[in-house]
Structure 1
Amino acid sequence: MSDLRYEATYLIETPFEPAKVAEVIAGEQSSGTFTRVPGETDDLRARARADVLSIELLEQVSTPSLSNAFLERKGVQGPWQRARVRLSFPADNVGANLPTLVATVSGNLYDLGEVTGLRLESLSLPAAYRDQFDKPRVGIAGTRQATGVAQGALVGTIIKPNVGFTAEQTAELVAQLCAAGVDFIKDDEVCANPAHAPLAARVPAVMRVVREHAERTGKHVMVAFNISDEIDPMRRHADLVVAEGGSCVMASLNWVGHAGMQTLRRHTPLAIHGHRNGYGAWSRHPLLGMSIPAYQTLWRLAGVDHLHVHGVQGKFAQPDAEVIEGIHDCYQPLAGDASDVSMPIVSSGQWAGTVPATFAAAQSDDVVFMSGGGVLAHPDGAAAGVASIRQAWAATMAGQDIFADGPQPSELARALAFFGH
């Protein structure tokens, strides 16, 4: 047995005394339940029970954030008190078991009758506990090495149309995108192993043109093949990518699951591109689900190399503050190991005009800047779209205002005129 403990911080809303609710949470997710039970001795509690470390009272509200049939049956009225509570859990209760860790720090907590809102905000892990889980094998440094991009943002794009292309049509588009100068190409999350372009045909077709491009130019373009599936098919597909000389696979995190991602990480040396589609179900209500640091921590424990963070000034509902938090969280080692970082994937409605806001947010060029329409829909073609993004990054990092500082290179100027301010 060890004395290792990890911490979790929650935002809660309750009509009861927050200190009592914090104790309910501590008991429910460790040694007991809502009341002490036979067998839950003082010695067992001392060894296995979670502890309440702190309670910060926040505002009171006059209406609950979420409905609660338990409270309605009992006729419990407000006001409803919000609070931030920090708990400490014995690591030995879980061990190196990621699904059980997730069940412990979230799980039934979202269903507790005592709360009308609960959100996991953050996790803090001691180094000795973090080391029991997987770490990224490729990360930021390995992605740069594989693509040959030593500095500057990596410019990426997405296969569009999302679905419908045959394997050969996909390969033709990839050849065009390689010639256009991209560093990174990925499948869309809804295109994994369709009948019209099965991975068994698509991977060889695409990698043939990627290899031909590399032979001509010396440039390896990283392609993230979407292999989201059951465990055995994912392993087979990853092996095919390796056999064809590929460097990356992609999986939909929320639907493959933590155990699935761990199995994939342990099976393949490829970069694992983690797509977070569906995260809005965990995040869009401020008193429910998980904040981005907690969410990303749990996936980083599965050894994911790349993490989607959406895009600054993008097309989705998330505020820029969440995107920025996601970017910076990727750069923070989980427990002191400087190499334990993931590459943030900036994506959703991105084009040359969102580069300044992205750089201002990240304060770094360690990003893959994904642009679908911003590349493919550029009025002068994909190569001009890629050039416009590179020009925007160069100007922004040089301290120039691309919207105001005089004449621009033609590709950037056309992008600004076509896509709008």
Structure 2
Amino acid sequence: MSSIYEDLVSSLDSKQAAYVNLELPDPTNGEYLLGVFHLIPGGELNILQAAAEIAAESSTGTNFKVNTETKFSRVMNALVYQLDLERNLVWVAYPWRLFDRGGNVQNILTYIVGNILGMKEISALKLLDVWFPPSMLEQYDGPGFTVDDMREYLGVYDRPILGTIVKPKMGLTSAEYAEVCYDFWVGGGDFVKNDEPQANQDFCPYDKMVMHVKEAMDKAVKETGQKKVHSFNVSAADFDIMIERCEMIVNAGFEPGSYAFLIDGITAGWMAIQTIRRRYPNVFLHFHRAAHGAYTRPENPIGFSVLVLSKFARLAGASGIHTGTAGVGKMKGSPAEDVVAAHNIQYLNSTGHFFEQSWTKIMDTDKDAINLVHEDLAHHVILDDDSWRGMKKCCPIVSGGLNPVRLKPFIDVMGNVDFITTMGSGVHAHPEGTRSGAMALVQACEAYLKGVDIAEYAKDHKELAQAIEFFPKV
């Protein structure tokens, strides 16, 4: 240990020292959830003192050493085990036995990004990456119904699932809302979602919205011969209303696979996410991340990254979560943030900002685990009949300022087509309306699949030509 680290360790008081071990033998031995924070101390504390206070507050301790500690309780201390003084980075190991053994994600987050984000000992504190050991993955649900299941239902395998968000996001009646769904579906689209504020407004009663969407879907399927999917926002004021909405949809006559349940995961809460996952394991669980920017925006010094949010969504059992447009659309984001997050939730093994995360539950040296990773990278369906071997994928859902012209640029940045795109104004602002907007999106996708530039493809496809002419002007 260099003299600068020795000086930092010697500056610790007896309480702080109990939460530091810069020589922790093997943090990846399966006993710990690991986290990396960007930390700038507040007040008079140095970085290691502040890190020790964070480890204490986020595990067993408080601001003073207490006389009620036991030998066992000290085993549950979080430990600062690594520092990067140049980049103000701190690595913390959390004994995962601290956490509710019922697979409770909100309990974990209460520890590791709970009180510590409000501590006066810090002026910047952001959780940048986490690592889950295989022994911990066993305790959590992970996704049930995946995008692979949705692809099988839709019969769509070699392209993104093409979706829309109904716009205007609020103000349409139930019938008007269903009409927009119908127009998108008959234009060739696959997937329609409620916008995140959709609820039971007086001008759009929830029960009538569900009934009319079912009618519109039936008509569109009959006319196109193609299956369709609708994602319903079931977030509600309380548990009973949330389940009532789910049951209303289940009992409305939809085919299994043709509907998803959307939860506003941050504002409704992780308990809502995990309740839906456990009550309806065979329904696509759509995690909308409204309010995430309060935590994840890069310029915000307090919070957690998009990667951290997305990994916890997969752990909790979300089938898909919005991961951003990597700077291609209107939302704040970059490939370094959004694409890394997307890859970490869709692959069985992927490298994050600091950790290489394996989502296998068996030994990663096992030949079956190695084969699964190779099959996954080859874009084959995995964990279909051997789900005990790993946690299933969570699908990136991409929205926010995309349009048909921006589809290929986003695919190029993403590096694959294994996502759901939900274009709002990119469809509904088309000069000829929603149906033509959907057709333009389908045509842009066809051009990509055929390796033809969209300007060339547009010569024989009027709707795409109109989209190319219109959207760059906006």
Q: When the two structures are superposed, what TM-score results if normalisation uses the length of structure 2?
A: 0.78
Is residue 29 of structure 1 aligned with residue 58 of structure 2?
Answer: yes
**C-alpha contact (below 8 Å) 1:211/1:220 kept by paired residues:** no
Distance 1:175 1:156 in 2: 12
Aligned partners of 1:146 and 1:222 also within 8 Å:
no
Is 26-35 or 399-408 further displaced after alignment?
A: 399-408
Counterpart check, 1:281 vs 2:294: yes
- The separation in 2 between residues aligned to 1:129 and 1:178, in whole angstroms, is 41
**Aligned-residue offset at 1:36:** 2.4
Distance 1:216 1:393 in 2: 21
Partner in structure 2 of residue 303 of structure 1: 317
Structure 1 residue 23, shift from structure 2 partner: 1.7
- Aligned CA RMSD, in angstroms, stands at 2.3
- Range moving further from structure 2, 27-36 or 348-357: 27-36
Q: Secondary structure at the match of 2:39?
A: strand
For the 8 Å contact 1:193–1:199, the answer to whether it is kept is yes
Per the alignment, residue 73 of structure 1 pairs with none
Amino acid at match of 1:243: N
Report 1:236-247 matches (<5 A).
236-244=244-252, 245=254, 246-247=258-259
Contact preservation (8 Å) 2:30, 2:134 = no
Deviation at 1:42, TM superposition (A): 4.4
CA offset at residue 320 of structure 1?
4.9
Give the one of 111, 130, 154 matched to 2:137: 130
User: What does 1:100-119 align with in structure 2 at a 5 Å threshold?
Assistant: 100-119=107-126
- 1:294, distance to aligned residue in structure 2 (A): 0.8
Per the alignment, do residues 406 and 374 of structure 1 end up closer, same or farther by CA in structure 2, a change over 3 Å counting?
Answer: closer
Residue number among 311, 319, 332 corresponding to 1:317 in the alignment: 332
1:89 aligns with 2:82: no
Identity %: 27
In the alignment, structure 2 segments of 5+ residues that lack a partner are 1-28, 349-357, 362-381, 384-391
SS at match of 1:99: helix
Q: Residues 360-394 of structure 1, C-alpha deviation per residue, up to 9 Å, x if partnerless?
A: 12111111121112212212333332232233233
Q: How far did residue 415 of structure 1 move? A: 1.0
1:310 aligned counterpart, secondary structure: coil
Equivalent residue for 1:292?
Answer: 306
Determine helix, strand or coil for the equivalent of 1:369.
strand
> 232, 235, 255: which one pairs with 2:240?
232
Match of 1:375 in 2: 427
Residue 57 of structure 1 corresponds to 85
Q: Partners of 2:78 and 2:215 in 1: how far apart? A: 54
Q: Secondary structure at the match of 1:116?
A: strand
For the 8 Å contact 1:29–1:50, the answer to whether it is kept is yes
Matched, 1:411 2:426: no
* Aligned partners of 1:228 and 1:252 also within 8 Å: yes
Task: Give the drift of 1:396.
Answer: 3.3
Quick one: distance in 2 between partners of 1:235 and 1:27? 38
Q: Aligned in 2, Cα 1:152/1:335: closer, same or farther, shift over 3 Å?
A: same
Structure 1 CA distance, aligned partners of 2:159 and 2:320? 17
Change (3 A) 1:408 1:288: farther
* Conservation of the 8 A alpha-carbon contact between 1:306 and 1:345: yes
Name the aligned partner's letter for residue 93 of structure 2. S
The offset of 1:348, in angstroms, is 0.8
From 249, 260, 271, the equivalent of 1:259 is 271
- In the alignment, which residue of structure 1 is the partner of 2:7? none
